[in-house]
Chain A
Amino acid sequence: GQQVMQIPQYQHVQEGEDFTTYCNSSTTLSNIQWYKQRPGGHPVFLIQLVKSGEVKKQKRLTFQFGEAKKNSSLHITATQTTDVGTYFCAPRNSGGYQKVTFGTGTKLQVIP
């Protein structure tokens, strides 16, 4: 079955530094979604990537989907304290309706 690793598990950065989290799958994916959960809050959808090699940007956030559709990354440029939270990837396989499982998450702490 599919195995998904999300790294790193934790990341502390100084405000203004960049941050990247990676999601790696053992199998080829149909698409991948990214979510953010603030401390004490609920997960919120950020983006969905579908095409091989796709790159999408949302202000300071850049999302990439690998050429082989097995890997994805989320990069934040010049972090701010509002970026604090846990970032989860949700890889999806093809094949009809299926459960949505999440990566282990990367918890980001931004030091002012």
Chain B
Amino acid sequence: NAGVMQNPRHLVRRRGQEARLRCSPMKGHSHVYWYRQLPEEGLKFMVYLQKENIIDESGMPKERFSAEFPKEGPSILRIQQVVRGDSAAYFCASSSDTGELFFGEGSRLTVL
């Protein structure tokens, strides 16, 4: 059973470009979470989604950031017009109804 798959693992963007991060949850999992982590810091909650629905996006900036989890295909975290402060590791996690989170290996975004 494949784990949570995130891609790309590393992404370099110039200021003003768009970053698109993908997350395929574990088979059978309908809950997806996105977290952001700066070096030597904790996991900051961004958004919680279930299939086709955003349940809680209280941790996600209202501008430039969006997330989706379509009926078919992976969850996408999209950052428009990236700035240097967006450089971070972005982790996706999925869970079934039991609540245990399985994390992907993360996507490390560097904004030049």
Known: A42-B91, A97-B31. A102 touches B45 (CB 8 A): yes
Q: Which residues from chain A contact B91 at a C-beta distance below 8 Å?
A: 42-43
Q: Which residues from chain B contact A101 at a C-beta distance below 8 Å?
A: 45
Contact yes or no, A43 B103, CB < 8 A = yes
Count of interface residues, chain B, beta-carbon cutoff 8 Å: 24
Contact yes or no, A33 B104, CB < 8 A = no
Name A residues whose Cβ lies closer than 8 Å to a Cβ of B. 31, 33, 35, 41-45, 48, 88, 90, 92, 97-105, 107
Q: Which residues from chain B contact A88 at a C-beta distance below 8 Å?
A: 42-43
Choose among A44, A48, A101 the residue with the greatest number of B CB atoms under 10 Å from its CB.
A101
Asked if B56 lies at the interface with its beta carbon under 8 angstroms from chain A, I say yes
Q: How far is the CB of A9 from chain B (nearest CB, A)?
A: 10
User: Nearest residue in A to B6 (C-beta to C-beta)?
Assistant: A42
Contact yes or no, B50 A48, CB < 8 A = no
Q: How far is the CB of B97 from chain A (nearest CB, A)?
A: 9
Asked if B59 lies at the interface with its beta carbon under 8 angstroms from chain A, I say yes
Extra contacts, 19 of them, besides A42-B91, A100-B93 (Cβ < 8 A), are: A31-B99, A33-B99, A33-B101, A41-B105, A42-B103, A42-B105, A44-B103, A48-B100, A97-B31, A98-B48, A99-B45, A99-B48, A99-B56, A100-B95, A100-B99, A102-B35, A104-B42, A105-B43, A107-B40
Asked if B65 lies at the interface with its beta carbon under 8 angstroms from chain A, I say no
